[in-house]
Amino acid sequence: MLGDRVGDRANSPTLATPSSYRCAMGQAFPDQSQPPTPKAIAEALGDADAAWQEALGAFADAGVDVAWRYYRDGGWLAKATRGKATMAWMSVEPGLARITFYFPARLRDTILASPDLDDTLRERIAAAAPVGKSLPVTLHLPDFPASQVPVVLELKQRLR
């Protein structure tokens, strides 16, 4: 199993693929024999690579590891973890990086009350349909500013 951890490039096991990534359309890395490398990611993202690098920096600054793993039903996905806790799931599509944080759905109002959230992201969170008992908060880079990654990551670390 190949992985790519921010900082030390080590492998990391993951438990399950979130349902929102199953059968991902447009996945830039669907082939198990072609793991994502920094160069391949940059090529797939194009102009969005700067936002991706900023997001990875936010995860690294928060002590969050990012490890890639291949899933038969989702292609290559990155799982961002701090200790045993999953902070986010990430995928790369041509020209787009998708970062999804899962919160307990009961915390929607608390999340929406965060003064640092971008208004567009706040609207998306308010309209998001729960997935079971979880509320997915998805940032599409570069559609949302990468500066929102540390804001949502701080909420994820603080709220349970």
Is residue 13 situated within a structural domain? Answer: no
Cα 102–chain centre separation? 10
Is residue 2 situated within a structural domain? Answer: no
Is residue 148 situated within a structural domain? Answer: yes
Taking 70 as the threshold, does the pLDDT of residue 156 lie above it? yes
Is residue 75 situated within a structural domain? Answer: yes
Please give the residue range of the domain that contains residue 94: 21-158
* Helices 49-61 and 148-158: angle between axes, nearest 10 degrees: 30
Angle CA 66–72–77, to nearest 5:
20
Non-local (6+) Cβ contacts of 1 within 8 A are 11, 13, 69, 70
- Over residues 79-105, the pLDDT tens digits come to 999 999 999 999 999 999 999 999 999
Is residue 3 situated within a structural domain? Answer: no
Is residue 10 situated within a structural domain? Answer: no
- Over residues 97-135, the pLDDT tens digits come to 999 999 999 999 999 999 999 999 999 999 999 999 999
Q: Considering its fold, how many domains does the chain have in total?
A: 1
Q: How many helices (H) and strands (E) does the chain have?
A: 5, 5
Q: What radius of gyration, in Å, describes the C-alpha atoms of the chain?
A: 15
Asked whether the whole model's pTM tops 0.85, one would answer no
